[in-house]
Each structure stands twice: as structure tokens, then as C-alpha cells.
Amino acid sequence: MHFKSGFGGAVALAVAAFGLSTAAEAQMKVGFVYVGPIGDHGWNYQHHQGLLELKKALGSKVTTTHVEKVPENADATRVITKLASTGHNLIFTTSFGYMNPTNKVAKRFPKVTFEHATGYKRLSPNVSTYSARFYEGRYVAGKIVGKMTKTNTIGYVASFPIPEVIRGINATYLSAKSVNPKIKIKVVWVSTWYDPGKEADAAKALIDQGADVIMQHTDSPAPLQVAEKRGVYAVGQASDMRNFGKKAHLTAIVNNWAPYYVARTKAVMDGNWQQQNTWHGFKEGMVKMAPYNSAIPADVVKLAEDTRKGIIAGTIHPFEGEIRDQAGKVRIPAGKRADDGLMAGMNFYVQGIDGTIPK
């Protein structure tokens, strides 16, 4: 309930000042569920950075809890239930595999608010979903790698063939192609999100086969380290990975969850939280580019920045027609932009990419 009038507001403030809200504030408990260890320096690490910033921003008004390494199976439901039944008012479940568990628990605890990352199901009114438009970052990175490669070959260390990853490969390729018509992209699937040794091996294989810029859609900084050692360039994933390869690190596509976490927590505290499906990008600050490497020529930096600003302003869209798939079928007609539904379920390579998506 909101007091719109000045008088009402004053009453509300007065009530707040005399204790009621201290009780309410003390009750504001936010829980986070992570799929891997915080110490992965990737996906989970970045969510935890969001938690830390949330604590910094709201201070004593909020207490936070996190549970790490929660497998995406029967354990997930147990942990989320446990959080919901121990006084947490808001629970962020930060991996796709928590989608059904989150919805299941949300139905049982209608008074608790749930936020699920990267999913699409919102079966009860107390569940929202959120994700980031990482492909926007890849589109900006694509301009840089397209310009920086001398062998015209991008090496791409990929995890699993889900739409998220395929979208990233397509965005990178389309962007690089637009500045370098001779560009080729080589994709190696490692079937893991997280195995530094295997990620490094894949990067080596790509470099040995002519790639001189490495992109990755896996979580550890290992591919970047390999690039540094071999004297080629790389683009970091999830966090600013500069420290792992100062020369190689062109930039990184940074997941920045903090603003969202702060905003949603405040919304619950203020009582104006509403169910929504959030897909934020550069504009809202959920995706960021890490500082550009000084080795990138000024005009390329400008190109990248113009692209970024264009995406924010809405003048540029990574998936703007005409875009055909490998079979030559028009997927996005000329002059049209891909809608969110098409992008969310993207399961085809765009024309020009060699190789096939593993089944």
C-alpha cells in the first residue's frame, strides 16, 4: 500500500521512524543460490560480486545469505525451500537449471519473492526472471577482433550448444564480418563450463590452427592465459580478466548484476516489486565492456564505442536483417530486427559460419 499524499507520507515516515520499519528492515533477508564455487572467477564469482555490492549499497538494512555449489537437481529444490522457510524475503536463483525448482518452491511460498536468472518460466505471481544481453557485448567485441586479427581467424572456445552460446557465436561472427569480409570463425566445443585444463587445450588447438584471437564462452581465465603465452589476443568472459594476460586481454564482456540486485531488493523493501521478465544489456548497465587494451588502435576503439553507444541508443541491433542461416533460409528479413523470442531460442548458425552445431 502506498501513501501518495503528503500527509500520508508523513505518517508513514513517522511510523517508520518509530520502530515498525526497523522490524521490517531487520526482516529483509536476501538469499542467493549459486551453481558452482564462488572461487570460479567466472559466472558464480560475478553473482557474488553482485551480492557484495548489494550489502555495500544497503548496509544494515539487509542481511544476505548465499549457498554455493548447489547442483541443478533434487538438491536445488531442497536448498531453495530451506531459504524460503528460514525467513528470506527475496531469493535469487542464479542458474538456468533452477527454473523448475524455483517455480515449484515459489508456488508453496507465495509470500516470498523469487528471481530466477536466465529462465523463461514465471508460473506464480511471485517469480520474476532476469538475464543479460551478453550478445550485445559480443557484438562490440566482434568489431574489435575482426579488426585485430591478422590471420582472419577467430578461435571460439564454446561450452554447450544452447541458444545463449550460439547467439554469442552468431553475434561475434556477424559483427566481425561487417568489418572484415574475409573473417572465419573456428568453434571448439569442450562440453564443460569449467575445466581450466581443457579450456586451455582448446585454446591451444585453435591457435595452432591459425586463430590469432580467442573468444570464450566458458568460465575460467585459462584460454586467456594461453593467448598471453602464445602472443595472440583474447576477449575475457564474465569478469575483467586483465590480470591473467595483460597483453592478450583486448577487453572482456563483464556481467554486472549489482544494479539489478540493488534495485530489486529495494523494490521488495518498498513494497512495489512486480513480476517481470528482464533482459538487460548495455543500456541498463547489466553488460559492460572491460577497459580496452592500449594495443587497440584509436579508430578501432572508436568503432567499438560507437557500436556500443549505437546499441544503447537503439540505432544498432546485432541481429538486424537480412540474416540467413547456413542453409540459406532467411531467418530475419531485411530491415527487420530479431525479436526476443527468436533470439531466446536461437539454434542455428548464420550463413558463413563453417561447421555444424553439435546435436
Binding residues for another protein restricted to 89-128, rule: CB under 8 A: 96-97, 100, 104, 108, 120
67: left (phi over 0), alpha (psi -120 to 50) or beta: beta
Q: How many CA atoms, within 13 angstroms, populate the side-chain half-sphere of residue 84?
A: 25
Shortest reach from residue 11's CB to another protein, in Å:
36
Segment contacting another protein by CB under 8 A, of 52-60, 61-69, 259-267, 320-328: 61-69
Contact by Cβ (8 Å): 98, 39? no
Would you say 225 or 307 has its CB closer to another protein?
225
The minimum distance between CB 6 and another protein, in angstroms, equals 42
∠26-80-340 over CA atoms, to 5°? 100
Beta bridge partners of 330: 324
Residue 279 binds to another protein (criterion: CB under 8 A): no
Check if the beta carbon of residue 76 is closer than 8 Å to that of residue 104: no
For the segment 132-161, give every residue that binds another protein (CB under 8 A).
155, 160-161
| Interaction mask 301-330, another protein, x per CB under 8 A | ------------------------------
| Residue from the set 68, 284, 305, 306 that interacts with another protein by CB under 8 A | 68
Cβ at position 147, least distance to another protein in Å = 23
For position 71 contacting another protein by CB under 8 A, the verdict is yes
- Phi and psi, residue 331, nearest 5°: -100, -35
Q: Distance between CA 193 and CA 278 in Å, rounded?
A: 24
For another protein, which residue of 188, 214, 287, 296 counts as binding (CB under 8 A)?
188
Bridge partners of residue 93, in order along the sequence: 33, 116
CB of 269 to another protein, least distance (A): 21
Selected range binding another protein among 39-47, 254-262, 284-292, 306-314, rule: CB under 8 A = 39-47
Total of residues contacting another protein (CB under 8 A): 76
Of 106, 127, 222, 269, which lies in the binding site for another protein, with binding defined by CB under 8 A?
222
- Pick the binder of another protein from 55, 61, 204, 288 (CB under 8 A): 204
* Distance from C-alpha of 215 to C-alpha of 149, rounded to nearest angstrom: 12
Question: Residues 21, 24, 53, 82: which binds another protein (CB under 8 A)?
Answer: 82
200 interacts with another protein by CB under 8 A: yes
Q: Which of residues 158-187 bind another protein (CB under 8 A)?
A: 160-163, 186-187
Cell 572456445 sits on residue: 157
**Cell numbers linked to 257:** 548484476
With b for 16 or more beta-carbon neighbours within 10 A and e for fewer, the 171-197 pattern comes to bbbbbbbebbeebbbbbbbbeebbbbe
